[in-house]
Amino acid sequence: MDKDMRRDIHVPSLKDELTGLYTMSWIMTQLYPSGPIKVTPDSVVLFFNVMNFQSINRRFGFEGGNQYLRNLAHEMSLIFKDDVVARAGGDHFIVISNTLSDEEVVKRLKDLDDAMRKHERGLHMHIKTGIYHSDGKEPLFVTLIDRAKMACDVVKNVYDRDYVFFDDKLKKNNELRQYVVEHFDAAFKKEYFSVYYQPIVRSITGEVCGYEALSRWKDPYHGMIPPFIFVDVLESVRLIHKLDMFVVDKVCKDIRKHIDGGYVYEPISLNLSRLDFELCDVKQVLLDTIAKYDIPKDALIVEITESAAATGVESLVQKLSDIRASGIQVWIDDFGSGYSSFNNLQLYDFDTLKIDMEFVRGIGVNPKSEVIISAIISMSKRLQLPTLAEGVETKEQYDFLKRVGCEKIQGYYFGKPEPRENYALVKDSTLANLEDPRMRKYYSEASSLNMLSSSPLNSFHSKKKDAGGLVNLTAITLIELDETTDKTRFVFYNRAYEKFFESLGIMSIDMVKPYFGEEGENGIREVFKEAESKPDERITLDVEWSEDITLHCRVRFLARYENKAIFGFVVRRKDA
């Protein structure tokens, strides 16, 4: 980097609107030899992250948050007046210097800390800094920034320190990251990137009703490089959109192949980073690619991780809502793993909530996890937001999630992410346990009941509030009527339902089925008809069980597809 580089810079073409600082994108255009920024053994890069920036936003609103960032930018420009100061997006800043010694850096950080106290407005803010001092051997400029950020990520988790220098240990740990930074472009050209698909299963049917696209980097030297490494690196060097837009293209192309082959296909969700929305016009790319391959919009779903949504930028709210308005679903990923899960739910509208796999791991192990999952599901039902649990590895986890009414499940129990070729291509959904796409709406409506509520048949819009507990004592079953055969089928029943019949001396639900219309008796057909004609009402039906026991049932119509209809039943003893 030239000592006089600030003077060489004429009119910067790209300034950050909020702070007036240089943007990272602009810095990237100023690299030697086409620009003045050149790496020498004197170069130092500082990466700043305001740790509890959310608390400023929360207390003083977006404008208060913006004011804090402007003040920080101003103080930085004064304290590092001979250096390049840039905003790297959100609450991240960068200083590039060619003159500061390590001791001087530490002194300036102390000055910055002191200067920022007067802008804290009663909150205790923590600005963390990662520092990288060049050795003059870095192959790329972004390597400096990446190492400063790595150091910053380390100090983020240290309570009593606010800065850290990148050292040899960090360097060793991060050789793979460095490899990623340096070989990303080549990996693309050489087609080391590919997309794997993991099945998503509908709980009440056990059928595959979708796939999640997950990217893989198969490297000839390092083997499989996991996404948690390369996604993070690509975000830090602001190139993640290249990968994500590659995935968008690949997924649409694969869907096209399915359609051309006449095969059944299920919707595919893909992961987008918050940064994608800053780095490219996501909605436009999605719509263009959908048009390019001429596929239906509902074949593609976008997942946003909760930390990604957490910066709470107003424009992101608008962008996500535009994407939804255009007919593409938006799901919130890893719900519960970040700091602002609930805030996100309040700010944004989503089409499905993906429960973080940490909670799923606790099923059967940590009773608290079960309480938390149940509470998330109850809340989601009230918000009319379907839920999906990821990381399901055992039958026990699946059974629990199905019982509490989690609509969809994903995890190794049903299948690992695999290349598209490994999945059966069929023209008839029944041949491969795939959901018939025409039944998608039907099953979504059927699984919308709150299995945890003591009044599960109340419609969503009911005024009666019932948050739902962990164990439901109300006996519930979902019964499907197939008019072609005039037979009924139990699609789902909860534990309370089994217990209820056990208390009547019935040990197998099979023995119950004839009483619920399996043989077309008991006037149950009329009740089905009435329920369907009054979808917002609960119809009552008394079933003579034995001489002295009458069962009192309430029935609500849930969904219909052609000759099939599903009804929710709640059962108790009439005299009870």
Q: Determine, following the binding rule CB under 6 A, whether residue 336 of this chain makes contact with ligand C2E.
A: no
Q: How far is the CB of 280 from ligand C2E (least distance, A)?
A: 13
Q: Determine, following the binding rule CB under 6 A, whether residue 352 of this chain makes contact with ligand C2E.
A: no
What phi, psi does 397 have (nearest 5°)?
-65, -45
Q: How far is the CB of 226 from ligand C2E (least distance, A)?
A: 5
Give the residue with the Cβ less far from ligand C2E, 400 or 516.
400
Nearest to 330 by CA among 347, 352, 309: 352
Pseudo-torsion of CA 327, 328, 330, 331, nearest 10°? 120
**Which helix (H) or strand (E) element contains residue 329?**
strand 329-335
Q: How far is the CB of 531 from Mg ion (least distance, A)?
A: 38
Q: How far is the CB of 389 from ligand C2E (least distance, A)?
A: 10
DSSP state of 261: H
Q: How far is the CB of 126 from ligand C2E (least distance, A)?
A: 26
Q: Which stretch binds ligand C2E (CB under 6 A): 29-37, 113-121, 223-231, 471-479?
A: 223-231
Q: How far is the CB of 354 from Mg ion (least distance, A)?
A: 5
Nearest to 129 by CA among 160, 97, 92: 92
Residue 516: both structure tokens together: 């619920």
Distance CA 83, CA 3 (A): 9
**Amino acid sitting at position 472:** N
Q: Determine, following the binding rule CB under 6 A, whether residue 333 of this chain makes contact with ligand C2E.
A: yes
Q: Determine, following the binding rule CB under 6 A, whether residue 159 of this chain makes contact with ligand C2E.
A: no
Q: Determine, following the binding rule CB under 6 A, whether residue 334 of this chain makes contact with ligand C2E.
A: yes
Distance CA 527, CA 548 (A): 23
| One residue of 150, 204, 237, 243 binding ligand C2E per CB under 6 A | 243
How many other C-beta atoms can be found within 10 angstroms of the C-beta atom of residue 376?
Answer: 22
Among Mg ion, ligand C2E, none, the one that 214 touches (CB under a kind-dependent 5 to 8 A) is ligand C2E
DSSP 440-458: HHHHHHHTTS-TTSSSTTS
Distance CA 95, CA 150 (A): 15
| One residue of 215, 289, 447, 450 binding ligand C2E per CB under 6 A | 215
Q: Determine, following the binding rule CB under 6 A, whether residue 393 of this chain makes contact with ligand C2E.
A: yes
Give the residue with the Cβ less far from ligand C2E, 98 or 410.
410
Give the residue with the Cβ less far from ligand C2E, 333 or 407.
333
Q: Determine, following the binding rule CB under 6 A, whether residue 278 of this chain makes contact with ligand C2E.
A: no
DSSP 417-435: -EEGGGSPP-SSGGGTTBP
Q: Determine, following the binding rule CB under 6 A, whether residue 341 of this chain makes contact with ligand C2E.
A: no
Give the residue with the Cβ less far from ligand C2E, 335 or 493.
335
Q: Determine, following the binding rule CB under 6 A, whether residue 417 of this chain makes contact with ligand C2E.
A: yes
Give the residue with the Cβ less far from ligand C2E, 207 or 356.
356
Q: Determine, following the binding rule CB under 6 A, whether residue 404 of this chain makes contact with ligand C2E.
A: no
How large is the greatest C-alpha to C-alpha distance in the chain, in angstroms? Answer: 99
Beta strands in 483-525 (DSSP E): 487-493
Give the residue with the Cβ less far from ligand C2E, 227 or 338.
227
Contacts of 521 (CB under 8 A, 6+ apart): 514
Give the residue with the Cβ less far from ligand C2E, 392 or 475.
392
**Which helix (H) or strand (E) element contains residue 232?**
helix 227-236
Among Mg ion, ligand C2E, none, the one that 221 touches (CB under a kind-dependent 5 to 8 A) is none
Q: Which stretch binds ligand C2E (CB under 6 A): 220-228, 281-289, 380-388, 420-428?
A: 220-228
Q: Determine, following the binding rule CB under 6 A, whether residue 412 of this chain makes contact with ligand C2E.
A: yes
Number of shown-chain residues binding ligand C2E (CB under 6 A): 25
Give the residue with the Cβ less far from ligand C2E, 163 or 335.
335
Contact positions with ligand C2E (CB under 6 A) in 295-324: 303, 305
Beta strands in 30-72 (DSSP E): 44-50
Binding residues (CB under 5 A) for Mg ion: these are 271, 303, 333-334
Q: Determine, following the binding rule CB under 6 A, whether residue 187 of this chain makes contact with ligand C2E.
A: no
Among Mg ion, ligand C2E, none, the one that 417 touches (CB under a kind-dependent 5 to 8 A) is ligand C2E
Distance CA 112, CA 50 (A): 12
Nearest to 376 by CA among 445, 452, 301, 449: 452
Give the residue with the Cβ less far from ligand C2E, 225 or 457.
225
Among Mg ion, ligand C2E, none, the one that 134 touches (CB under a kind-dependent 5 to 8 A) is none
Q: Determine, following the binding rule CB under 6 A, whether residue 273 of this chain makes contact with ligand C2E.
A: yes
b (16+ CB within 10 A) / e for 51-90: eebbebbeebeeeebebbbebbbbbbeebbeebbbbbbbb
Report whether the peptide linkage leading into residue 437 is cis, meaning its omega lies within 30 degrees of zero: no
DSSP 136-147: S--SSHHHHHHH
Give the residue with the Cβ less far from Mg ion, 391 or 517.
391
CB–CB of 123/54 below 8 Å? no
Contacts of 147 (CB under 8 A, 6+ apart): 45, 130, 132, 166, 170, 171, 174, 178
Q: How far is the CB of 443 from ligand C2E (least distance, A)?
A: 22
Give the residue with the Cβ less far from Mg ion, 244 or 333.
333
Contact positions with ligand C2E (CB under 6 A) in 66-85: none
Please report, as ranges, the residues that interact with ligand C2E according to CB under 6 A. 198, 214-215, 226-228, 231, 240, 243-244, 247, 271-273, 303, 305, 333-334, 390-393, 411-412, 417
